[in-house]
Structure 1
């Protein structure tokens, strides 16, 4: 799971061009939006596309679950693991 979380952090940094942030600076349980990493809805769209390309998982625009899946690196890792199972 730690390897997956590292890959997610690398996708976040590369897809959103966060050059000043390193994977070790992103706390697994920290919120990705708002007070945490400070991402916004446009970042969520870009990140969703990047995660789909990297891991082959899909996020539905109509799903109310997306907010839960994008809550943190931990939440994304759980979602990706569940989708691949």
Structure 2
């Protein structure tokens, strides 16, 4: 089986999202270009807070709601993985 993940970080992030938010979805089926919120994966603001904490603990990247790029960062799994790759400390 092949997947559409461009990197192992995207694959790892899909797993982190599913595990952290206790989603009933196979991480391998998450389209990395699909929207994380709304009609996409269906996440909400509480999910974003939980996910931000997990990202901070796992990768050392502090996501802040005051960041002007926060909507773009959380727009998709791929965008989130790219931001983590650029800013991670772990």
Q: Work out whether the TM-score is over 0.5.
A: yes
- Which of 3, 12, 20 is residue 15 of structure 1 equivalent to? 20
For structure 1, the 5+ residue unaligned runs are none
Structure with higher RCO (Cα < 8 A, 6+ apart): 1
Partner residue, 2:58: 54
Moved over 2 A (4+): none
| Count of residue pairs the alignment pairs up | 84
Higher helix share: 1
Q: Give me the whole-angstrom Cα distance separating, in 1, the residues matched to 2:7 and 2:43.
A: 22
Q: How far 1:65 sits from its partner (Å)?
A: 1.4
Q: Give me the whole-angstrom Cα distance separating, in 1, the residues matched to 2:88 and 2:42.
A: 28
TM-score by length of 2: 0.86
- Which of 78, 83, 87 is residue 83 of structure 1 equivalent to? 87
For structure 2, the 5+ residue unaligned runs are 1-5
RMSD: 1.4
Q: Give me the whole-angstrom Cα distance separating, in 2, the residues matched to 1:60 and 1:77.
A: 16
Q: How far 1:61 sits from its partner (Å)?
A: 2.5
